[in-house]
Structure 1
Amino acid sequence: MTYLDYQATTPLAPEAFAAMVPWLRDQHANPHSPHREGRRAKAAVEVARGQVAAALGATGGRLFFTSGATEAANWAITGTCARVGGKRPKVVTIATEHACVLDTARALAAEVVVLPVGPDGLVDRDAALAAIDDRTAIVAAMLVNNEIGVVQPIAWLGELARAAGAVMFCDAVQGFGRVDLAVDACDLIAVSAHKVYGPKGVGALWVRDGMEPAAILHGGGQEGGLRSGTLSPALCAGFGVAATLLSVEDRAQVERLWGIARMVLSAPDWVLNGSAEQRWHGNLNVRMDGLDVARLMSECRTIAFSAGSACSSGSGRSSHVLRALGLSEREARSSVRIGFGRYTQEEELVQALQTIDRAARGQR
């Protein structure tokens, strides 16, 4: 099986696995217990906390571990609106955001403004200028889109939010360690371990001092009194080590693979979805006119690739991200997403993409 679905999840780094094993096999203490073994477990969690914060480039604030980015986004948006109260009833976000942001915003008793994007997938700046005002509680924007790889202008959106007195929340899950993030422009940042070669089941929310969202999980208050639940030292340790391994070498590898991928799945037959310039090159989202993607995936069953977000697979709906670009239902359903990264070999990528290309052309 050739794995080309890095946006859905990344392979677990061997180093991260090795860091987890002792806590899964031998060291089972609760990190919130006061005895010696509990304190050892807590120390491992705190080391991991520092590793993730350092990789994020955050020099202040606090980093809270969560069960994943979905919880982090829910907490950031719901908790901020609860803290601010009715004085600022508006949530501003973008049409191409992940469902954990869009659905959370819509579940609130709040005024939700969903900013449109252009055909390139970038936020409509005039709409953002008009929407972000002194009634806005929080602005929520994704750094790198999980479906099309487009990089949003987080620094600019953060400046708008700050000028209006609103909180800036960034879903940095797909961009963490891959593209530059203006941490100074953000108040809340969500990240996830399994998108950066760490384990599934752990994420984090970085919080600027003074911007702490109200708690949405109640109980023991294990995470700074704001987030309840027993942490897993194993998951935290794996996340921490995975975060330390994020480097420029990954970016160089991805650039080489991007060049190869664009040569195989090339224009005019394959059309790139989203901006060609403002994007992370580990995500190739392309379409071919009239392509039956379900048939293509069946014919290429030895290759793991995607028709869109793993979170919405099986829903029967076409991608809301692609429709937001202005694509027709037919065009959205004729698109595929190819994701690659640290452990993708050039030869296997070429062979897999050539197989996809031949199968797609065979449908004509």
Structure 2
Amino acid sequence: MANSIYLDNQATTPLDPAVLEVMLPFLTSKFGNPHSASHAYGWETEAAIDVARAQVSSLIKAQEPNEIYFTSGATEANNLAIKGTMQAYGRERPHMVTVNTEHKCVLETMRYCESMGFSLTVVPVNAKGLVEIDSLEKAITNKTAIVSVMAVQNEIGTIQDIKTIATLAHSKGALFHTDAAQGFGKIPLDVQDMTIDLMSISGHKIYGPKGVGALYVKKGVRLVSQIHGGTQEDGLRAGTQAPALCAGLGMAASLAETSMITEHTRIRHLQETLLNALINLYPPLVVNGSLDERWVGNLNISFPGINGDRLIANLRAIALSSGSACSSGSATGSFVLKALDLPKELISSSLRLGIGRFTTEEDIQIAIEHFKSALEKLGKL
């Protein structure tokens, strides 16, 4: 919508024009099947996928590009990481550990595995949305196959201490997996330094296309394939690869690698401008989750004393959300905010504002004016 201010960058991000430019040839003239090994049409699309694999690998500092496996998105990558691990290692190590603020595709995949006979421990977070290391340590045993903790929480933006958690998992002989859909390309992620075994990646969260993601699998880690029917992706994920989508993800990763630091500084400024203005307009405002250990583009806030639905109804000119896009429509309220043990009043009046690459200073100022108008209409100013 041309007249709408877009502040929902956690749900999805607009496609970067540079990404589209790279993708277009593979939607038109370069249409070959990358698995056609006998002619140039196949060779050029296979080469493009190799370039994309290297670009994704470079951003997360993987040891080699072949540790990157393309998927349809982070949800598939999470399923492959968790189910694949349990099928490969679960006989000797039938236990899984995760955190209660994980994305539903992690929680539900682990619960599916639990229904198949494996055991699961879900560790709570504290009031800031961070998992306590002592609690996690108690949960992991010598029968734990996998520990899965999200790098950046999708609703409240909290950044977990991934390196420490990975070290803890390894001390008990478990693999460490992180759903990095919201962290990939936004915060520094070095899989070798952080000793990450498995990392799930999404394209449309970093100005790339929807329908593509990747799973980083550390060399030597065994997974059982979840999609059968071909030898693609080194036999781990059957199905014809989509060169346009892979090329788009690769370019998005490359752009993120060169702009991450400057973007972080610029977006932090916009976040501070917006938050300070909203606090001045409505001093009772509460920030949900840690403000320090947080991706700066995520601002989850509550307006105590205001009906959240009525507030959103008066902010139609701003694209925002009241929680995860994947949980949109839920009548029970955010399970993530409930996990922070927030009172019902704060949960029901919460909004998530997502600032991104294409958000401007002007957008923020216009958004502030819309909030001012909405609060006036509700009799709160």
Whether the 8 Å CA contact 1:123–1:152 is kept in 2: the answer is yes
Consecutive unaligned residues of structure 2, counting only runs of 5 or more, are none
Q: CA deviation at 1:357?
A: 4.2
Residue of structure 2 equivalent to 1:100: 105
SS at match of 1:332: helix
Return the letter of the residue paired with 2:359.
Answer: T
Distance, in Å, in 1 between the alignment partners of 2:376 and 2:306 is: 9
Residue of structure 1 equivalent to 2:91: 86
SS at match of 1:41: helix
Distance, in Å, in 2 between the alignment partners of 1:196 and 1:125 is: 29
Q: CA deviation at 1:361?
A: 5.5
Aligned residues: percent identity?
A: 46
Give CA-to-partner distance per residue, 1:323-344, whole Å, 9 cap, x none.
Answer: 0000123321110000011110
Residue of structure 2 equivalent to 1:170: 178
Residue of structure 2 equivalent to 1:224: 234
Residue of structure 1 equivalent to 2:264: 251
Distance, in Å, in 2 between the alignment partners of 1:325 and 1:90 is: 25
Return the letter of the residue paired with 2:265.
Answer: A
Residue of structure 2 equivalent to 1:319: 334
Match status 1:131 vs 2:135: no
Residue of structure 1 equivalent to 2:22: 19
1:29-44 superposed matches below 5 A:
29-34=32-37, 35-44=39-48
Return the letter of the residue paired with 1:23.
Answer: F
Q: CA deviation at 1:313?
A: 0.1
Select which of 210, 214, 237 maps to 2:224.
Answer: 214
Whether the 8 Å CA contact 2:300–2:352 is kept in 1: the answer is yes
Match status 1:328 vs 2:328: no
Return the letter of the residue paired with 1:74.
Answer: N
Q: Summarize the Cα distance change of 1:284–1:357 in structure 2 as closer, same or farther, 3 Å threshold.
A: farther
Whether the 8 Å CA contact 1:6–1:195 is kept in 2: the answer is yes
Residue of structure 1 equivalent to 2:49: 45
Distance, in Å, in 2 between the alignment partners of 1:22 and 1:66 is: 21
Q: Summarize the Cα distance change of 1:182–1:159 in structure 2 as closer, same or farther, 3 Å threshold.
A: farther
Whether the 8 Å CA contact 1:154–1:181 is kept in 2: the answer is no
Match status 1:114 vs 2:117: no
Distance, in Å, in 2 between the alignment partners of 1:31 and 1:326 is: 50
Match status 1:346 vs 2:361: yes
Q: CA deviation at 1:354?
A: 3.0
Q: How many residues align?
A: 364
Whether the 8 Å CA contact 1:139–1:167 is kept in 2: the answer is yes
Match status 1:297 vs 2:312: yes
Whether the 8 Å CA contact 2:309–2:349 is kept in 1: the answer is no
Distance, in Å, in 2 between the alignment partners of 1:101 and 1:323 is: 18
Select which of 142, 146, 152 maps to 1:144.
Answer: 152
Whether the 8 Å CA contact 1:48–1:241 is kept in 2: the answer is yes
Distance, in Å, in 2 between the alignment partners of 1:154 and 1:357 is: 39
Select which of 40, 44, 54 maps to 2:58.
Answer: 54
Select which of 158, 163, 170 maps to 1:155.
Answer: 163
Whether the 8 Å CA contact 1:51–1:244 is kept in 2: the answer is yes
Distance, in Å, in 1 between the alignment partners of 2:140 and 2:326 is: 29
Give CA-to-partner distance per residue, 1:34-83, whole Å, 9 cap, x none.
Answer: 12211111111110110111112212461000000000000000000000
Question: For the aligned residues, what is the CA RMSD?
Answer: 1.3
Q: CA deviation at 1:182?
A: 4.3
Greater displacement, 265-274 / 109-118? 265-274
SS at match of 1:87: coil
